[in-house]
Structure 1
Amino acid sequence: MTVASRRTLLKGLGAAGALAALSGCGVPSAYIAADERGAADRSARDKRLAFANWPLYIDTDDEDAARRPTLEAFEKRTGIAVTYTEEINDNDEFFGKISPSLMNHQETGRDLVVVSDWMCARFVRLGWVQEMDRARQPRVAKYLDPLLRSPHFDKGRRYSVPWQSGITGIAYNREQLGREIRHVNDLWADDLKGRVTLLSGLDEAFALLMQGDGVDITRWTADDFHRVCDRVEKLVRGRHIRRFTGNDYIKDLESGDVLACQAYSGDVIQLQADRPEIEFVVPEEGAELWAESLMIPNLARHKRNAEALIDYYYDPEVAAELAAWVNYVCPVPAARDVLASAKDKETAALADDPLIFPDGAMRKRLAIARDITSKERPELAKRWNGIAGL
């Protein structure tokens, strides 16, 4: 099974960054007040909903890729017909697609969307998503991983619920390198000169690098950021860092051109199926835990139906079925016991994979980074993009 990555790079500020900056400067046209976000809910009489997601981010039938077993089971159980589209290929691109409607207080045609945490933060700041009714989501309230319950951008997860989660850490070829990597600073050793890559996206890269400097990423400062940039800039000038990448770091690892790099846990699980010598490390000083989360856009006409679908995927049995297919960090820890009891040995083994269900020691080293505010973004993006060559 091959799962394409959905963690994409941020190329400059772009339209999304410009809008976020406007909202931070007090321009009222972008922000939507709480009492203007809802619309008459048609859920009771119109049993359907429109769900926009990333490609290859839901389970499919082994014999018919057009069929999605967990989604079909939801439709059968509830009578709600789901129009499922794999239209999100890039956070900024999708933002650009739906932002004109949201800014102008118009329907997007979507009841449920999945975007990365840093993009979720923009939607929340702009007031472009509706608060969910947790009374209608008892499974979310009961089973959501405590590590993911209250990110900086959405305290208490009032506006977002993780679809899947992941870890930004370090991947390396232990066989070729001939030693272990245990710290972020191990990337800067002389024997890795010219054989290291970093992620090019600001939002994807900065947290792990700060953790290597001992920074608490839940409360980092601009000074922390610039100190890291000073170091990275020096490493680029000295040609220690080979290049900055999107998800093409996988090809570099496979070819042997790169021996160590920033990487996403889900990608490495897939890579290890063919290349067991590739290891993924959560550094001793910590790694970033992130999520791609479900949100209900303003004026969605099937809000209750969307809330029901979200809660359905927090049933541990359903979460286990999804986790077994996508192989990202499961936001429902209770799904681990479900997988462990599976009759199929390969499926049962997933319960012991710390990149799907992080163990206690790993969990202590994971943190969700404070998001970059709209006020900070222009300065920080300019500095980072100048170093990364974006």
Structure 2
Amino acid sequence: MKKTLQKIYLALILILLYAPILTLVVLSFNASKTRSKWGGFTGEWYVALFQNESIMNALYTTLIIAFLSALFATILGTMAAIGLQATKKKLRSVFLTIANIPMLNAEIVTGISLMLLFLAFRMTLGFTTILLAHITFNIPYVMLSVLPKLKQTDIHTYEAAQDLGASPLYAFFKVVFPDILPGVLSGFLMAFTMSLDDFIITHFTKGPGVDTLSTKIYSEVRKGIKPEMYALSTLMFVTVLFLLVLINTAPPKKLTKEERQKQRKAVRISRTIFRKVVPAMLVIVIVAGGFFYNSKQNFANGSNRVIVYNWGEYLDPEAITMFEEETGIDVVYEEYETNEIMYPKVESGAIAYDVICPSDYMIQRMIDNDLLAKINFDNIPNIKNIGQTYMEQSRQFDANNEYSVPYCWGTVGILYNKKMVKEPIESWSVLWDEDYKDSILMQDSVRDAFGVTLKYLGYSLNSTDRDELYEAQELLIEQKPLVQAYVIDQVRDKMINNEAAIGVIYSGEAIYCQQENPDLEYVIPKEGSNIWIDSWVIPKNAQHKENAEKFINFLCRPDIALMNFEFITYSTPNTAARELIEDPAIRNSRIAFPDASELEGCETFKFLGDKNDRIYNELWRQVKSK
């Protein structure tokens, strides 16, 4: 019985360890993009992986940074360890304590500190700052590996070599270095591994257009993982597994004298290859591949590019390619998930973005805080294609239409599964219905969450009344046990895959979801909702303002606006593009283009001032922490 229980226990442990990996492997061969159904066996995601420039770029950037940071950290760490070994014991103890602080410190503290240091020296965040940050936090790990080996070396041998006429440098490499080489190699491998795996420090020190695998995977998770990432993870797992099996399963064998001599010869050849040929090839592959995939981001002519900061999956990649081909201007593209994530990065001035696409109330805030430049509309003749209705609506946050160009608009409503709810939904009240516990999706956005609740209570979604806000907070806290998840872009996958019955969603997302799952229905609740508009703006510190205006003008072209509408399915304010929509069901969709009667009670978010923003954020933080 005892042995049986032990086997059961071991089996459970193995299942817990490897079931997620097995699931990931299976999904990498699933022809369907959705996780909830099997679409047949396919290898297309592995082909797509190596054709996906952004993922391959992240892979090569990761390898380059890991290799270079480990190399420099090993050199500097080894020199530091040798210097410490030569100092007096008390002084050595003090320096070791200082050197160990980065290892004991929380990574987020190190990351923020390095970011502030780079900004203090007016360095542009990017590849160089990531590399410097990785070298910095890797050095202590190298020192930790080398110092024990230095303690084991015999100083008298080194002195004897000098007595025999060897120079200090020659004596070091011939006497000391061979003894500490295992520690140096161990330090290099540790530094390489730490750099390869790092996310937090990289996140705070990276700039636009530069991603490592960790930051790329994080951004993908925020908006729904693509199947290519399953393929990449599977390849990484299989590679590690193969090496482990190769190392640990070689059967012992008794060798003859002749076989032992052959083995020694093979070992010598292998050592030569691994010490000289493999490192050289590794450097060539990483540097050459990295140069190819990073050339556009890191080596482009600084005056002939435009740095774009946009919502996730909010622009057809083909449109970027067309713009680059037609203008010769390189596009450095970066994505964000919420207005609240975007704003601090722009306000800090850490990165000089050229074009950004915020929402209405955030544009007002940026104007009030003098963060935006006035647009020269002489460079944007295609502004004529934007409907006058939307230009007038923009005056609510851009009084004179000087700072923004409308890009997309829509409403916030409820998307529900007709097969999973009891009756058609008309009111926000369903979000507090206990019959749908663990089947409700809420937007992970402070203004959207409070806006929904305030409208349900009969208040303005721009309320600054403390009593009304506290009442809304209490309702959100009361609702929290019913919520399956607070999401952004993930709401699409969950609703399409029937993982939830009800979701608060943007109208453009609802159109896409209905195309994938006909059981879904979208409604603007009777209490009213938010009607929003996202627009292109140019930050005041933009370094390529004319290129930014060319980019905006290009996106206002009817054929390009139509391309983007079909890609993101959000309503376009470009009336010329709407006329080009071939499908009358889409052209006249009440979700994409609702009539005035359906928008009664809808409001546009307004900037409520920094003080009220802090109040909203604090109340939302309290809701999320309950």
Aligned mate of 1:350, from 559, 579, 586: 586
**2:446 equivalent to 1:202:** yes
Shift of 1:167: 2.3
Shift of 1:181: 0.5
Amino acid at match of 1:213: L
Give yes or no for contact 1:219–1:370 (8 Å, CA) kept in 2: no
Give yes or no for contact 2:528–2:599 (8 Å, CA) kept in 1: no
Partner of 1:167, secondary structure, is strand
Assess, with a 3 A threshold, how the Cα gap between structure 1 residues 50 and 83 changes in structure 2: closer, same or farther. farther
C-alpha distance in structure 1 between counterparts of 2:528 and 2:370, whole Å: 32
Partner of 2:336, secondary structure, is coil
Aligned to 1:85: 332
Aligned to 2:321: 68
Assess, with a 3 A threshold, how the Cα gap between structure 1 residues 376 and 360 changes in structure 2: closer, same or farther. closer
Higher deviation after alignment, 133-142 or 285-294 = 133-142
Unaligned runs of 5+ residues in structure 1 are: 3-13, 15-45, 103-107
Shift of 1:194: 4.3
Instruction: Give the alignment of 1:46-125 within 5 angstroms.
Output: 49-61=306-318, 68-69=321-322, 71=323, 76=326, 80-91=327-338, 92-101=340-349, 108-125=351-368
Identity in percent: 22
Assess, with a 3 A threshold, how the Cα gap between structure 1 residues 310 and 351 changes in structure 2: closer, same or farther. same
C-alpha distance in structure 2 between counterparts of 1:371 and 1:331, whole Å: 22
Give yes or no for contact 2:453–2:475 (8 Å, CA) kept in 1: no
Unaligned runs of 5+ residues in structure 2 are: 1-31, 34-107, 109-302
Shift of 1:375: 0.8
Shift of 1:324: 1.9
**2:544 equivalent to 1:309:** no
**2:422 equivalent to 1:187:** no
Aligned to 2:461: 217
Aligned to 1:319: 561
Assess, with a 3 A threshold, how the Cα gap between structure 1 residues 300 and 243 changes in structure 2: closer, same or farther. closer
Q: TM-score, normalised by structure 2?
A: 0.46
Which protein shows a greater Rg? 2
**2:579 equivalent to 1:337:** yes
Give yes or no for contact 1:168–1:289 (8 Å, CA) kept in 2: yes
Assess, with a 3 A threshold, how the Cα gap between structure 1 residues 307 and 362 changes in structure 2: closer, same or farther. farther
Give yes or no for contact 2:357–2:537 (8 Å, CA) kept in 1: yes
Shift of 1:262: 1.2
Q: For this pair of structures, how many residues does the alignment match?
A: 325
Amino acid at match of 2:623: I
Assess, with a 3 A threshold, how the Cα gap between structure 1 residues 155 and 389 changes in structure 2: closer, same or farther. farther
C-alpha distance in structure 1 between counterparts of 2:541 and 2:499, whole Å: 49
Assess, with a 3 A threshold, how the Cα gap between structure 1 residues 87 and 235 changes in structure 2: closer, same or farther. closer
Amino acid at match of 2:555: Y
Partner of 1:324, secondary structure, is helix
C-alpha distance in structure 1 between counterparts of 2:499 and 2:563, whole Å: 36
Shift of 1:128: 1.4
Shift of 1:386: 1.1
Give yes or no for contact 1:49–1:111 (8 Å, CA) kept in 2: yes
Aligned mate of 2:401, from 147, 153, 157: 157
Shift of 1:256: 4.2
Q: Per chain length, whose mean CA-contact separation is higher, i.e. which structure has more relative contact order (CA < 8 Å, sep 6+)?
A: 1
Higher deviation after alignment, 170-179 or 264-273 = 264-273
Aligned to 2:148: none
Partner of 1:376, secondary structure, is helix
Shift of 1:190: 4.7
Q: TM-score, normalised by structure 1?
A: 0.71
**2:614 equivalent to 1:370:** no
Assess, with a 3 A threshold, how the Cα gap between structure 1 residues 348 and 257 changes in structure 2: closer, same or farther. closer
Give yes or no for contact 2:441–2:483 (8 Å, CA) kept in 1: yes
Partner of 2:479, secondary structure, is helix
Higher share of residues assigned strand: 1
Aligned to 1:38: none
Give yes or no for contact 2:365–2:607 (8 Å, CA) kept in 1: no
Give per-residue Cα distances to partners, 1:171-204, cap 9 Å, x unaligned. 1111221310011123334533443232232023
Aligned-CA RMSD value:
3.3
Shift of 1:352: 2.4
Give yes or no for contact 2:382–2:553 (8 Å, CA) kept in 1: yes
Shift of 1:366: 3.7
Assess, with a 3 A threshold, how the Cα gap between structure 1 residues 88 and 175 changes in structure 2: closer, same or farther. same
Higher share of residues assigned helix: 2
Amino acid at match of 2:489: N
C-alpha distance in structure 2 between counterparts of 1:58 and 1:362, whole Å: 28
Aligned mate of 1:384, from 620, 623, 626: 620
